[in-house]
Amino acid sequence: MEKESAGRVVIGVIGDDIHVVGNRIMQLALEESGFQVFNLRTRNRPEHFCQAALEVNADAVFVSSLNGEGEYWCADFRRQFAAVGLGHTLLYVGGNVVVGKRAMADVVSLFTGYGFDRVYHQQPDIGVAIADLLEDLKRGQAKA
């Protein structure tokens, strides 16, 4: 008998970023935690994430950026998801999402202002994001 999935998650790297190692580690960690993962890999635009989430009926989307391009590419993320009926999808962003040294509170405020549910700027422990995702899904924050 096949084990029930903890949920469907789209992951990928935003912009012209080609840092694939963290993306692959995230995929493996999510799969080990029971999630079905749809990995877009590198060099994605917001519409790629939106289309993939729509196609697979994703519970959550994890966007990563190591080169700091997240600040530019993620500004309109939630609006694009809402425009296609995915306003309920959990949105997470992590990596090194801005260029330059900034206070963590400022980075979190910026990305929550963009509509992201959780922000993991320079968070080295992937387990924190996975635990948050499991908790968010348990509390019913995804798919009402």
Active-site residue, from 16, 19, 48, 125: 19
Indicate the range of 7-11, 75-79, 128-132, 140-144 predicted with least confidence.
140-144
Domain annotation covers residue 81? yes
Q: How far apart are CA 130 and CA 34, in angstroms?
A: 10
The residue segments making up the domain with residue 41 are 7-138
Domain annotation covers residue 144? no
pLDDT in tens, 81-139: 999 999 999 999 999 999 999 999 999 999 999 999 999 999 989 999 999 999 999 99
| Cβ atoms within 10 Å of 20's Cβ, excluding its own | 15
Domain annotation covers residue 16? yes
- The pTM of the full predicted model, rounded to 2 decimals, is 0.93
| All residues at 6 or more sequence positions from 50 whose CB lies less than 8 Å from its CB, including other chains | 80, 81, 84, 86
| All residues at 6 or more sequence positions from 72 whose CB lies less than 8 Å from its CB, including other chains | 15
- State how many domains the chain has: 1
Q: How far apart are CA 55 and CA 49, in angstroms?
A: 10
Domain annotation covers residue 13? yes
pLDDT in tens, 46-90: 999 999 999 999 999 999 999 999 999 999 999 999 999 999 999
17 catalytic residue (yes or no): yes
Domain annotation covers residue 60? yes
Active-site residue, from 17, 59, 117, 136: 17
CATH code of the domain in which 80 resides? 3.40.50.280
